[in-house]
């Protein structure tokens, strides 16, 4: 995806100035969030920075937290660039600092996890000092340690068994997806292209869904998707990988070490970057 230039971001900020004076209403901001997915790759980062700026300007309150958290779910789809990611992280951090969300059963509420994911996996800077945010970070680290030790055996749509631990010597990309998930469908052509290009170099891509095989087969008809599609009936492997949203991607190197995590829809460039960390070198 094209990175947005500094000049474009200056233009975006200038365009946002009238909105800052008028202070966009929460309902208007919610409408802008709903439209983000319909924008082009070039327009979306600019619009995301603008809406994050509008959220930051809202008065404190739980509605501000909800809007900022909603933006955090959208900014990780594709490669919108560090400026958009940081703007959303700043808005969510500010909203939580102003209006802390109480925990239930000592578990951090989702906005703290979403902010921690941005920090851990998208390399943004977070200044929030809150024990619930720290706890969310600690839980993500523990989950990652679980995933690093994970193993499973699942059957694909052709009834072939695949066992993760038996793929040592291969670079393995594990992708959790579903037919009903728009970001999952968006990244599938890139996964297919990467798989067909690098399979001869020892790359294995395992696409895991917990849906009914009939539903999955019907969806894939005519799509010529080549990576093995594994059925996780009952969702045991989803639980093992602590999946709370899709798509999510995990990359293991030839020694079986977890080397990369993507928490949302990835572009071809982002997938190749993750695979490079595992030792896959483009020709």
Residue 270 has pLDDT above 60, yes or no: yes
Higher local confidence (pLDDT), 6 or 31: 31
Which whole number is the average pLDDT over 118-133? Answer: 96
Give the contacts of 124 (CB within 8 A, at least 6 positions apart). Answer: 82, 85, 86, 89, 118
Q: What is residue 176's predicted lDDT score, i.e. its pLDDT?
A: 98
Higher local confidence (pLDDT), 198 or 16: 198
Residue 283 has pLDDT above 70, yes or no: no
CATH annotation of 153-277? 3.40.30.10
Dihedral of alpha carbons 221, 226, 228, 230, sign: negative
Structural domain boundaries of the chain?
6-123+130-144, 153-277
Higher local confidence (pLDDT), 22 or 57: 57
The DSSP H or E segment spanning 156 is strand 153-156
Specify the residue for token string 């995590």.
Answer: 261
Residue 7 has pLDDT above 80, yes or no: no
Dihedral of alpha carbons 22, 35, 55, 49, sign: negative
Q: What is residue 20's predicted lDDT score, i.e. its pLDDT?
A: 46
Q: What is residue 257's predicted lDDT score, i.e. its pLDDT?
A: 97
Q: Name the pairing type of β-strands 203-209 and 171-176.
A: parallel
**pLDDT of 228-251, one tens digit each?**
999 999 999 999 999 999 999 999
Average of per-residue pLDDT values in the chain? 92
Q: What is residue 22's predicted lDDT score, i.e. its pLDDT?
A: 59
Q: In 10 A of CB 199, how many CB atoms?
A: 14
Enter the pTM of the model.
0.87
Percent of the chain whose predicted confidence (pLDDT) is above 70: 92
Q: What is residue 282's predicted lDDT score, i.e. its pLDDT?
A: 66
**pLDDT of 54-98, one tens digit each?**
999 999 999 999 999 999 999 999 999 999 999 999 999 999 999
Residue 138 has pLDDT above 80, yes or no: yes
């Amino acid at each position: 995806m094209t990175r947005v230039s500094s000049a474009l971001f200056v233009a975006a900020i200038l365009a946002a100035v009238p909105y800052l004076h008028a202070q966009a209403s929460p309902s208007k901001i919610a409408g802008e969030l709903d439209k983000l997915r319909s924008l082009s790759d070039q327009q979306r980062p600019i619009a995301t920075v603008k809406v994050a700026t509008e959220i930051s300007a809202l008065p404190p309150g739980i509605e501000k937290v909800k809007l900022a958290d909603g933006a955090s779910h959208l900014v990780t789809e594709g490669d919108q660039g560090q400026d958009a990611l940081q703007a959303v992280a700043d808005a969510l951090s500010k909203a939580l600092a102003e209006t802390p969300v109480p925990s239930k059963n000592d578990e951090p509420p989702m906005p703290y996890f979403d902010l921690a994911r941005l920090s851990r996996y998208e390399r943004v800077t977070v200044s929030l000092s809150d024990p619930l945010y720290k706890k969310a970070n600690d839980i993500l680290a523990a989950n990652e340690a679980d995933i690093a030790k994970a193993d499973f055996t699942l059957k694909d749509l052709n009834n072939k068994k695949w066992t993760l631990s038996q793929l040592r010597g291969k670079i393995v990309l594990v992708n959790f997806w579903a037919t009903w998930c728009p970001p999952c469908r968006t990244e599938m052509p890139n996964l297919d292209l990467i798989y067909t290009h690098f399979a001869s170099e020892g790359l294995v891509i395992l696409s895991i869904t917990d849906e009914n095989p009939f539903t999955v087969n019907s969806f894939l008809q005519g799509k010529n998707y080549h990576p093995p599609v594994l059925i996780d009936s009952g969702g045991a492997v989803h639980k093992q990988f602590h999946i709370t949203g899709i798509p999510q991607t995990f990359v293991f190197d030839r020694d079986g070490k977890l080397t990369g995590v993507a928490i949302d829809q990835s572009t071809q460039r982002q997938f190749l970057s993750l695979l490079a960390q595992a030792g896959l070198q483009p020709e």
